[in-house]
Amino acid sequence: MSWSISIFSILLLVVIGFAAYRIALEESQEVINSQMEHMAYFLEQNNPTLRTSTFNPKRHYGEVDFFIDIVAKDHLQQSGLTGGYLMPYSDKSYVKRQKTSRGTLIIYVKPIGDKQIQISQLNHVRVNLAKELAINMLLPYLFFVPFGILGLYKLIQRHLRPLFTLKEIFSVRHPSDLSPIHVQQLPAEISPAINELNYLFKRIEEAQTQQKSFVANAAHELRTPLTAINLQTNLLSKLKQNTAQYDENMVDLRLSLQRMIRLVDQLMKLAHQDDMAVNELEQMSVVDVLRTALNQLSISAKEKNIQMQFVVDHYEEVFVWATQSILETIFLNLIDNAIKYNRTNGQILIKVYADHLHTTVEFHDAGPGIDESNLKKVKERFVRLESTQHQVVGSGLGLSIVEAALKLIDGQLSFTNSAILSGLNAKVMFKNKNVLPNDTVLHTGKSI
């Protein structure tokens, strides 16, 4: 920064010097030209006699030196220079810059009857005068600039001292250390960046904690079915086929495999949550996606002889802003839960209704339900209730996936005990981004 300021000061000095030179040159031209006019006027008033000036090329002429020539009109050429430096006769006064045998001159011409007065001065004299004036103007700046740069350097060094402290902190900081950074007397311009950095450290630490917990839980969940499969495989190798004990172990083995396959599938869905967020949202038909999800899970429902009822409280199509994959992920997991935790010969009721602000889908089942004290826990990853974890194959990730998918489309998931059936009511609420027409009438009881 100090070098930058020094270079800028030098460049500024050059610009100021050039500007000062131009100003001094223009001012000196005006002043000296005015002096030449006054001299010519004085000579005119005093009936001057004819005379010609002499020029010594070896002499150093200054700003007070002028060449004064009073020449008869008849002795001047009508065009071109006379004697290499005298201007042709003119009917009016003028000032001109002219190259002559004496060098470049600034010439003032004034005709007076049968004579012509010519007062001239070397151009380089005025240039040197302007340079001298510009240097005199810059001398104070040249004198104070080094002290100014030194003062700025000390001031910058003082204010940036906390940054050197920050540099030392980073140089000795362990890569895994995500604790907040605290440096005293940070410049006001730097403090917001450090605050954001500390906030970033906090988010990274939380993400790492979640990742470690996720990996540990995933390993634990995978270990359980793998251990069971290993034991059941060893046991099956010692049993005779087509026996009751062999068949029973085969059922257990199949359940363990199903549990592990489901867990891996759920883990893959969690891993691809960010991919779902990349897609642009579009208007999706809630009814169409629900039908697709129900068709995919119809076999599971038939195995338990579960009757499913689908009621839409609206004659028109109900749309939400989402993607096909997001809505299918939400509906498949919630319907699958309603089937798994339902009783044999049970029922499932899916209700869809909408108003000007929200579209709501409810999933009612006839299972045992959940105690109010456990309703908040079921959304956490790998959490499974003790009352059902030994009866149903699952990973405890389904509702976490639903929550993650809903965040992508600004939706909400809540649980209550069903007032219609004996089990649980999982309610999904989507915010409407388009208002329904004013003449839309909501109807109830339309069953699909």
For position 180, what pLDDT does the model report? 83
7-11, 42-46, 267-271: the lowest-pLDDT one? 267-271
Report the 10 Å Cβ neighbour count for 241. Answer: 8
Q: Which H/E stretch holds residue 116?
A: strand 115-122
With beta carbons less than 8 A apart as the criterion, state whether 127 and 54 touch.
Answer: no
Report the alpha-carbon distance of residue 90 to residue 100 in Å, rounded: 18
Q: Which of 3-7, 38-42, 64-68, 358-362 has the lowest mean pLDDT?
A: 3-7
Average pLDDT over residues 110-124: 92
385/436 Cα distance (integer angstroms): 40
State the CATH class of domain 191-268: mainly alpha
Is the model more confident about 408 or about 378?
Answer: 408
Please, what's the largest Cα pairwise distance for the chain? 150
The yes-or-no verdict on residue 295 having pLDDT over 80 is yes
Calculate the dihedral angle through the C-alpha atoms of 127, 128, 130, 134, rounding to the nearest 10 degrees.
140
Separation between Cα atoms, residue 10 and residue 136, nearest integer Å: 17
The C-alpha atoms of residue 98 and residue 84 are separated, in whole angstroms, by: 11
Q: Do domains 191-268 and 279-431 have the same CATH topology?
A: no
SS3 at position 282: strand
Beta strands 424-431; 115-122: pairing state: unpaired
Average confidence (pLDDT) over 231-255: 78
446, pLDDT greater than 50: no
Q: Among 4-8, 132-136, 395-399, name the one with the lowest average pLDDT.
A: 395-399
Task: Assess contact for 250 and 270: CB atoms under 8 A.
Answer: no
pLDDT band at 72 (very low <50, low <70, confident <90, very high): very high
Query: Is 70 exceeded by the pLDDT of residue 260?
Result: yes
**Digit-coded pLDDT (tens) for 20-32:** 888 888 888 898 9
Asked whether 359 and 432 are in contact (CB, 8 A), the reply is yes
Percent of the residues in the chain that have a pLDDT greater than 90, as a whole number: 20
Q: What are phi and psi of 38, to 5 degrees?
A: -65, -40
Looking at domain 279-431, its CATH class is alpha beta
Confidence of residue 123 (pLDDT cuts 50, 70, 90): very high
Kindly tell me if the per-residue pLDDT of 395 is higher than 50.
no
The string of pLDDT tens digits covering residues 149-207 is 777 777 777 777 777 777 777 788 887 788 888 777 666 767 788 888 888 888 888 77
Q: Label residue 281 by pLDDT band (50, 70, 90).
A: confident
Cα 219–chain centre separation: 38
Q: Say what the pLDDT of residue 177 is.
A: 80
For the chain, the helix, strand and coil percentages under 3-state DSSP, each to the nearest 5 = 50, 20, 30
Give the residue from 267, 295, 414, 396 showing the smallest Cα distance to 341.
396
Is residue 271 over pLDDT 70? no
Q: Give the per-residue pLDDT at 439.
A: 37
Averaged pLDDT for residues 218-240: 73
| Overall pTM > 0.85 | no
Least confident of 32-46, 92-106, 216-230: 216-230
pLDDT at 37: 93
Residue 8 has pLDDT above 50, yes or no: yes
Render pLDDT for 303-345 as a digit per residue (tens, 0 to 9): 889 998 888 876 567 888 888 878 888 888 899 888 988 888 9
Token couple for 397? 């990730």
Mean pLDDT of the chain: 79
Q: Given the DSSP bridges, would you call strands 115-122 and 103-112 parallel, antiparallel or unpaired? A: antiparallel
- Show me where the domains of the chain are located: 2-146, 191-268, 279-431
Query: Average pLDDT, stretch 120-143?
Result: 86
Residue-wise pLDDT tens digits, 96-105? 999 999 999 9
